[in-house]
Structure 1
Amino acid sequence: MTPSPPSRPDTATPPAAVPDGADHPPASPSRPGALRSWLAVVAVGMGVFAFTTTEMVPIGLLPSMSRDLGVSEGTVGLSVTLYGAIAGLFAPVLTVATRRLDRRLLLLLVLGIFVAGNVFTALSSSYTVLMASRLLTGFAHGVMWSIAASIAIRLVPSGQAVRATAVVFSGISIASVVGVPFGAFIGQSDWRTAFWAISAIGVLILAAVAFLLPSLEPRAVARLSELPKLLRDGNLRIATLVTAAMVIGHFAAYTYVAPFLEQDAGIPSEWVSALLLLYGVAGVIGNFAGGAAAARALRTTTLACILLLATAVVLLVVNGRWQPGTIILLLVWGIAYTALPVCLQTLVFASAPQAPEAATSLYICAFNVSIALGALAGGWVVDASGPSAVMFLGAGFSVFAALLMTRYRVTRPE
C-alpha cells in the first residue's frame, strides 16, 4: 500500500521538517549562548554514552560476575538481554507518562535513577539484587533515548538540528570504542569497580546537565492512546519498519562477527579485538559523516548507507580469506551502520514533527526489541549453517530495509 503523505512536507534539508514551534525555543535574551548551548548538547550526548556503556559493559565482565554471584555466565548475560527489552518495551509508556514534566527536570531525574541503579549494581550481594538494579536502570534508559535527541535540537538553531542529533548519537559510538572496553579493563580485578566508575561518570554528567541546560517546557504532549494513531502516517510507519529491519539484520550478523572473522575469514584470534576497536573508530567517523550528509539529502543518505552496509556484509563472505579486504570491508560496515541512527532518528522527526518524543519512543521500542530479535535469529542460523550464512541473513534484512526505504515519500526531489 502506498504510504500517505507526511504530516508536514519533507525537504532536502531535514531540520526544516522540524517546526520551530514544536522543537525549538523562540529566540530570547534568556536563551543560552552558542557555546553554552553546544556544551549542553555534549552533556546530553555524554548521557547517551553513559547509558550505552552500562548497558553493554557486563559482556566483558561475565566470567567474574558469574563466579562472584554463583550463577552461570548465560544467566548473568540475561542482565544485558532483559535490560534492552525493558528499555525498548517501556519507552513509549514511560515517555507518555512523563509528558508533562519539564524536560530538564526529567533528564535530571533519569540521570539520578541511572546513578542509583549503577550504585545498587555495584553493591549487589546476589543475582536477584543485580537484576533488580539492572531493570531499574533499563526503565530510565528507554526514557533517556526517547528524549535525548529532541532536547538537543531545542538547544540549537533549527538549521543545526541534524548536527546536534549526530553529537547525541556519537555517545553510542564512543561507548563502543572507549566506554565498554575501558569498563571491562578496570573491572578485571573486581567487576564492581566498573559500575562504581560508571556511577561516578553519571554524577559528573548530572552536574553538567544541571548547570548547562535551561528549563525546557514539555511540548507536543501525547497520550498513550494516541501512539497507534501516529503509525497511521505512512512515512513514520516506513521509518519504524526500516529501523526494525536494519537493526535485526545488523545484529543478526554483528553478534556473530567474531566467529566469522576467526573461522571463515581466517583472522587470527588475537587480532579480533583490535579489528572491532577499529570498527568502533570507523563508527565515530560514520556517525558525523552521516549526519552531515543527511542534513543535505536525508532519504538518499539513508538509502545509500543501508545499501553500503548490505554490500559490505556480502563482500566479506565473497572476499574469503584475503585479510586486507576483510579489514577494509569491516571498516565500511562500521561507517555505514553508525551513520544510520542519525538518519533514522531524523526521519522520525521529519515524519512526526507534531509529536517528536512520542514518535521517538516508538522508534526506540522498535530499535531495542529488534536487537534481541536479530541476535536470536542470528543464533539459529549460525548454529544451523555457520557464520557465513548469518552474514547473508544480515544482508537480506538490509536489502528489505532498502526496499522499504524507497517507499518513503518526499514532496520534492532532493
Structure 2
Amino acid sequence: MSRSHQNAWLSVSSVAVGSFGTVLSEFLPIGLLPSISSDLGVRIATAGLMVVVTGLAAAVAAPVVTVATSGLDRRVVLIGLSAVLVVSDVIAATAGAFAVLLAARVLLGVALGGFWAIGAGIAVRLVDASRTIRATSLITAGISIATVVSLPLGAVVAATSTWRLAFVIGAGIGLVALVLQLLTLPAMPAEQRVRPAALTALFGVPRARIGLLVAALLFAAQFAAYTYISPFLHDVAKVDPDVVSVALLVFGVSGVVGNSAAGVTLHRSVSGTLVAGGIALAAAVALLPLVAHLPVAVFVLLVVWGIVWGGLPLGLQTWMVQATPAGSEAGLAMFVTTIQVALAIGSSLGGVAVAAVGIAVDFQLAAVIALLGTGALVWLGVRTAGSARRGAAAADH
C-alpha cells in the first residue's frame, strides 16, 4: 500500500467521523427530551422542537451552503462545518435557557445539511474512481451507525448522567473529526460554481426526479416506523427492558453489515439494489407486528431491517450522484433537503398513526409507503428507459 493510498483512506475516514458526529448529535437527544423538559422548565412537546428545528435547518442549509461555498476549497468548507458542529454542541451542553439550546440546534442543522450535501459526495475527490463507491460507503457508514447507535446511547446517558453529557459526547466526536480533517484532508479547489438555477434544474432531469421521489418515500417509510421501534419492542413485542438495548444494538450492527454489502451490490446494479432493498424494508416492517409474540422472529426481522437500511441511503446517494454527474453537489444538496423533510413527515405520520390506531398499524403504513417508493422506482424507471429507447430509435430514422 503506497503512502498516498494510505493518506487517501485516512482522509475518507476523517470525513466518515464527521458524518458520524453530525448525525449522532442530531438524534442523540431524542431519548433525553423528558430530562431536558424538566431541567429547562418547558413542556415536553416544546422540548421536541429541538429535534424539529435541526431537521428544518438542515433542509434549508443543504442547498444554501452548497451554493454559497461552491467557490471555496472543499477542505476549508468541511473543516468549517466540523467546527460549527463542535461549537453547536458546546453551546447546547452549557445552555441555561431553552432559547439558547434551540439556537445551538439551528447551528447543528447548518453543519448537518452542509456536511451531508458536500461530505457524502467528496469521495470522488479523495480516491480513485474504482474505489469511489467503497469510499462513499465508509462515509455513509458513519451516518448509518450514528442513526442506530443514538437510541441505545441516549438511553445509557439518560440512566447514568445528565442530558448535557449527550452534547459533550457530540462535541468530542466533532473535535476528533476536526483534528483528523486538519491533518489528513488534501486541498480540494472548487471545480465549478453551483448556481441556484442548478438546484431547480434537477427537476428537469428524469433520473434525478425519480431519485428524489423514491428517496422521499423510502425515508418517510423508514422513520414512520423507526421512530417507534423502542415502543414496539417494549409494548407490542413485550421484550424485556434489558433486552431492548441488545435488540437496538443488533439493529445497528446489521446496518453496518448492510452498508458494506451495498458497496458490493451497487457495483452490479444500483436500481436492483434499491428495488430489492425497498421490498425487503416493506416486508420487514409489515411482518414485525405479525410475529411480535415470537422473540426469535422479531430479532431475525430486525437484522433484515438493519441490513436493508444500512444500504439504502448509500444506494440513493449513488443514484443521485449518477443522475447529476456534472454537478453532484447540487444533486446531493437537494437529496439532503428531500430526506430531511421526508424524515419529519414520516415521523409525524407515524405519530398520528400510533396515537390513533396503534403501533402495529403504523408499521403497516410504513410498509405501504416503502412499497409506493419501490413501485415508483420500477414504474418511472421503465417509463424513462422506454422514452430513451424511443428517442434513440427516432434519431436513427
Task: Determine which structure has greater relative contact order: mean sequence separation of CA pairs < 8 Å that are 6+ residues apart, divided by chain length.
Answer: 1
CA distance in 1, matches of 2:51, 2:98: 13
For 1:124-203, list aligned pairs within 5 A: 124-178=95-149, 181-182=152-153, 185-186=156-157, 188-203=160-175
> What residue in structure 2 maps to residue 367 of structure 1?
339
Structure 1 stretches lacking a partner, 5+ long: 1-30
CA distance in 2, matches of 1:382, 1:64: 23
1:265 and 1:181, CA in 2 relative to 1: closer, same or farther beyond 3 A? closer
Give 1:180 shift: 5.5
Is 1:324 aligned to 2:296, yes or no?
A: yes
> What residue in structure 1 maps to residue 52 of structure 2?
81
Give 1:189 shift: 2.4
| Alignment partner of 1:51 out of 3, 13, 22 | 22
> What residue in structure 2 maps to residue 278 of structure 1?
250
CA distance in 2, matches of 1:263, 1:179: 20
1:315 and 1:365, CA in 2 relative to 1: closer, same or farther beyond 3 A? same
Question: Is contact 2:27–2:150 with CA below 8 Å preserved after alignment?
Answer: no
> What residue in structure 1 maps to residue 73 of structure 2?
102
In the superposition, the TM-score normalised over structure 1's length comes to 0.88
> What residue in structure 2 maps to residue 123 of structure 1?
94
Residue type matched to 1:118 in 2? D
Deviates more, 1:234-243 or 1:296-305: 296-305
CA distance in 1, matches of 2:338, 2:26: 17
Give 1:192 shift: 2.2
Residue type matched to 2:356 in 1? A
CA displacement 1:85-133 (0-9 Å, x = unmatched): 2101331122111111110000111111111111111121111111111
Question: Is contact 2:30–2:154 with CA below 8 Å preserved after alignment?
Answer: no
CA distance in 1, matches of 2:244, 2:166: 23
Corresponding pairs, count:
382
Structure 2 stretches lacking a partner, 5+ long: 390-397
Question: Is contact 2:152–2:245 with CA below 8 Å preserved after alignment?
Answer: no
> What residue in structure 2 maps to residue 15 of structure 1?
none
> What residue in structure 1 maps to residue 235 of structure 2?
263
CA distance in 1, matches of 2:83, 2:241: 40
1:145 and 1:266, CA in 2 relative to 1: closer, same or farther beyond 3 A? same
Give 1:177 shift: 4.8
3-state secondary structure, aligned to 1:101 = coil
> What residue in structure 2 maps to residue 338 of structure 1?
310
CA displacement 1:354-388 (0-9 Å, x = unmatched): 11001100000011110110011111112221111
Give 1:195 shift: 1.9
1:96 and 1:70, CA in 2 relative to 1: closer, same or farther beyond 3 A? same
Give 1:46 shift: 0.3
Give 1:311 shift: 1.2
Question: Is contact 1:119–1:195 with CA below 8 Å preserved after alignment?
Answer: yes
Deviates more, 1:311-320 or 1:181-190: 181-190
1:63 and 1:373, CA in 2 relative to 1: closer, same or farther beyond 3 A? same
Give 1:399 shift: 0.7
Residue type matched to 2:133 in 1? V
3-state secondary structure, aligned to 1:219 = coil
CA distance in 2, matches of 1:282, 1:358: 31
In the superposition, the TM-score normalised over structure 2's length comes to 0.91
3-state secondary structure, aligned to 1:363 = helix
CA distance in 1, matches of 2:169, 2:360: 38
The structure with the greater share of residues assigned to helix is 2
Is 1:35 aligned to 2:6, yes or no?
A: yes
CA displacement 1:51-79 (0-9 Å, x = unmatched): 01111111232233222211122222211
3-state secondary structure, aligned to 1:317 = helix
Residue type matched to 1:268 in 2? D
> What residue in structure 1 maps to residue 216 of structure 2?
244
For 1:287-302, list aligned pairs within 5 A: 287-302=259-274
Question: Is contact 2:72–2:190 with CA below 8 Å preserved after alignment?
Answer: yes
Question: Is contact 2:152–2:248 with CA below 8 Å preserved after alignment?
Answer: no
| Alignment partner of 1:391 out of 360, 363, 378 | 363
3-state secondary structure, aligned to 1:150 = coil
